[in-house]
Amino acid sequence: MADQRIKVAFDGPVAVITAARPDKLNAFDIEMLKALAAACDEVEANAETRVAILTGEGKAFSAGGDIKAWGGMTPNEFGHAWVRFGHRVFERLATLRVPLIAAINGHALGGGLELAIAADIRIAERHVKIGLPETGLGMVPGWSGTQRLVRRAGAQVVRRMALGGEVFSADEAAVLGLVDHVVETGEAVAAARDYAARIAARGPAAVEVAKLMIAAANGEDNGTAVEALGSILVAKTGDLKEGLAAFSEKRAAKFAGEW
């Protein structure tokens, strides 16, 4: 049975992924991470989906990693079963084929901010706080807080959060580029749906390719971007059709250099 703490709903071209563990401020354990990866696969498999929204149930977006889930791990377990696995799941989320909008309806601290930064667009409610408190616990960000977050928001703002423990309001976060839009409390999901409709109205193939190109320019997932773009291009050529026909008919291919 699927973990019900990660919900996926489809509404036409929009998929909504919801972390649904409100009693724990939507903090993640291993099973939730697995469910999030499965949710990404479900979104990818839905051909109608053109954009996805990520949010949290209740008053929180996500408190990040559940301390009880990793607090008793050995260093080896913590590094591999927790940090590396969570890193792979968040990478999966960040590289969805469709644009992802984070509707930040509650505080995004630590792993919650790392979750939000995986999105292409971030819409935060005015009351939320944003930061990286890990060093105050004697640990460091582990789900790309010093990697993707640096690439997307800049090293200096990450230094202020990770080294200085600064916590920013939503308005401050918008000025710093941590979030893109600020809305009033209770309006993040509706605003995300409005933005999703804007994206969904554009050419889906162009949007998907543009996302890949931007990621490559930002030093993210270069190998996947290059191979995906190249494969899409070649898949439309007459040469590929000829190659497949020749293979099926057990004959030598006669390529004409047709694009």
Catalytic residues: 114, 134
The pair of three-digit structure tokens given for residue 25, joined into one six-digit string: 């401020």
Backbone angles phi, psi at 33, to 5 degrees: -60, -45
Q: Are 142 and 88 in contact (CB under 8 A)?
A: no
Q: In the 8-state DSSP scheme, what is residue 23?
A: G
Half-sphere exposure of residue 60: CA atoms within 13 angstroms, side-chain side: 19
Whole-angstrom Cα distance, residue 80 to residue 77?
Answer: 5
Q: Which of 116, 151, 155 is nearest to 221 (CA)?
A: 151
DSSP structure string for 222-251: HHHHHHHHHHHHHHTSHHHHHHHHHHHHTS
For residue 120, what are the CA distances in angstroms to 77, 97, 116, 179, 258?
31, 11, 9, 10, 36
Q: What's the Rg (C-alpha) of the chain?
A: 20
Cα separation, 118 vs 229, whole angstroms? 21
**Tokens encoding 16:** 């909504």
- What DSSP assignment string belongs to 97-137? SS-EEEEE-S-EETHHHHHHHTSSEEEEETT-EEE--GGGG
